[in-house]
């Protein structure tokens, strides 16, 4: 009986550790992808003098001319960069899980004295979908930082 209790306890601890590890891996992947997107946006701005004109969230992220993946196609290797692995699969299947701050269309990354949000997870649009990273959103800013916040960017509210 004691052996069964020990084995069950060890198994439960293993499941918890695995789940926490998987969540940390997904959070790290998301943050890394946002940093890579920032680098692509920097390169786009260097080449064209401004940020792209893209939709908040396009109708068809994989094909629309106003989608971030289309705008940055020459600067990004692989479609996975546009996917936060912690968002629901329904969103992942669209090919884009981040929403764009349209106030930055045609602007430069350093136009504002204070950092302005560029991208955050699509989960931030609904109270019904929890924030993907331990109840926090990853938010990419114009200074290249990725910040963790319990609330979406103010302009989404």
Parallel, antiparallel, or unpaired: how do β-strands 117-121 and 137-141 relate?
A: antiparallel
Averaged confidence pLDDT in the chain: 88
Q: Give dist(CA 113, CA 24) in Å, integer.
A: 32
Dist CA 157 CA 154 (whole Å):
6
Residue 17 pLDDT: 45
Domain ranges of the chain: 2-156
Q: What is the pLDDT of residue 7?
A: 47
pLDDT at 127: 85
């Amino acid at each position: 009986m004691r052996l069964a209790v020990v084995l069950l306890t060890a198994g439960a601890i293993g499941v918890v550790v695995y789940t926490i590890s998987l969540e940390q891996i997904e959070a790290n992947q998301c943050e890394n992808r946002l940093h890579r997107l920032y680098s692509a946006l920097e390169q786009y701005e260097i080449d064209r003098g401004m940020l792209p004109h893209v939709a908040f969230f396009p109708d068809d992220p994989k094909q629309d001319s106003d989608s971030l993946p289309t705008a940055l196609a020459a600067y990004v290797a692989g479609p996975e960069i546009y996917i936060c692995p912690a968002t629901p699969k329904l969103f992942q299947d669209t090919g884009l899980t981040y929403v764009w701050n349209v106030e930055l269309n045609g602007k430069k990354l350093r136009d504002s004295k204070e950092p302005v949000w560029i991208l955050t997870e699509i989960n931030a649009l609904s109270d019904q979908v929890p924030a993907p990273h331990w109840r926090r959103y990853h938010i990419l800013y114009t200074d290249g930082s990725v910040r963790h916040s319990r609330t979406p960017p103010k302009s989404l509210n």
